[in-house]
Amino acid sequence: MGHLLVVESWVGSMSRLLPRAIREGGHEFTFLTRDLHHYLRSAPEGTAHPLLGARHVITTDTNDTEALPTEVERLHGVLGFDGVVTSCDYYLPTAARLAGRLGLPGPGPEAVAAACRKDATRRALAAAGLPQPRFAVHEEWPELARAAREIGYPLVVKPVDLCAGMYVRRVDDETQLAEAVRALHGFPVNARGQERVPLVLLEELLGGPEVSVETVSHGGAVHVVGVTDKSVGGAPAFIETGHMFPAALTPADTEAVRRTAVDALRALGLTDGVVAHTEIKLTTAGPRVVEVNPRPAGNRITELVRHVTGIDLAAACVDVALGNAPDLRPADTGLRSAAIGFLVPERDGTLEALDGREAAAAEGVLEVQLAEPGRAVKAAGSNNEYLGHVMAGDPGGLGARDRVEGLLAGLRAELVVR
């Protein structure tokens, strides 16, 4: 039995999946946070709070990067940790540094830090000669405006250190660029109270479908579990509206994106102790790397994978954090594909009614989670404003996406806001 130090978490699905995987693996965990109320305010309804399964819950300043290692060393001397893990993007570098400080398994801290900074990722991939969009990184307006003209409009504006699609925007001209940069500079501290890096990443706008490659790295080898597709909406934002696993690609395209993802992970040095989610665009010129995320996929993609293959990526994350070989053997689950679709609000207001719940919960539907009337609604600008989701599978082939989209269409027709 292992004892994991869990440093912060999201309050969404991974906050439940990771503790579940720890418990089912016969392990235990101590939870470390700077703000326990952040999690208590978001307790999942109808189920026991995942933190109730912790051996200890300890409050300390997880943002104090100078004092935290000493504090964790002291805790390690008393409690004895066998691994360090987090499900929150903003604490991935912290968890890697702590594991290294304690001599515990895990990916290299420098590799994780580079993957969590989009500008550092771009430079590492460029040095390795890997395919990616043309890009530039600047802070001040004159350099940004000049770089945008050199790359050419339309292009994509990104923060270098945020996640969930926050402040990622398509811009078609210099006026829109100025608005996007102004909005980004007006968000100097992230949701976890960490001061942001004021750099702005400009990227060539890529065409073609987007997919993600789900991988597990252990013992110097990168194991590809599969490829997930993605649908995007909400222009000029890039909001994930749905996913299907496996992606409906040709064998040649599947092999190309798998190879590109593995090459990207190797270029960053993420070949041990990490479950990763690498996003790739399939352009007419071939695959292009969009992002490399050194953590399990969000938006319930891990559950799509589990429903189709039986492979539990949350459990794999626990295993590699403890230095154990993950179980990546596929099983016959009875499903050939699984898909999820998100209900994305298009304007602000209050949710008055969301009908069609009975139809959404039809036979064969794997999950339904929908907002209740009375909830404040904000027009989606990132992946943080969903009003719910529907997940379904297809035992016969790659029809899961069509089924989910049909169910969501009925729900959207009944959505009223004011």
In a domain, residue 366? The reply is yes
pLDDT digits (tens, 9 = 90+) for 170-228: 999 999 999 999 999 999 999 999 999 999 999 999 999 999 999 999 999 999 999 99
Count of beta carbons in the 10 Å neighbourhood of residue 220 = 8
- The reported pTM is 0.95
* Residue 37: C-alpha distances to residues 58, 189, 224, 372, 402 (Å): 12, 19, 37, 23, 40
Domain count, the chain: 4
Which burial class, exposed, middle or buried, applies to 348 when counting CB atoms under 10 A from its CB (0-12, 13-18, 19+)?
exposed
Considering 85, 104, 123, which residue would you say is the last residue of a domain? 104
In a domain, residue 278? The reply is yes
Q: Is 83 within 8 Å of 261 (Cβ atoms)?
A: no
Q: Per-residue confidence at 321, pLDDT binned at 50, 70, 90?
A: very high
Is residue 349 over pLDDT 80?
yes
For residue 93, the SS3 value is: helix
DSSP labels for 344-404? ---S-EEEEEE--HHHHT-TTEEEEEEPPTT-EE---SSTT---EEEEEEESSSS-HHHHH
pLDDT digits (tens, 9 = 90+) for 293-306: 999 999 999 999 99
Looking at residue 90, what DSSP letter applies? Answer: G
pLDDT digits (tens, 9 = 90+) for 72-121: 999 999 999 999 999 999 999 999 999 999 999 999 999 999 999 999 99
Q: Which domain holds residue 191?
A: 134-204
Q: Per-residue confidence at 371, pLDDT binned at 50, 70, 90?
A: confident
In a domain, residue 235? The reply is yes
CATH of the domain at 395: 3.90.1170.30
Omega cis (within 30) before 188:
no
CATH of the domain at 26: 3.40.50.20
> In degrees rounded to 5, what are phi and psi of residue 293?
-110, 115
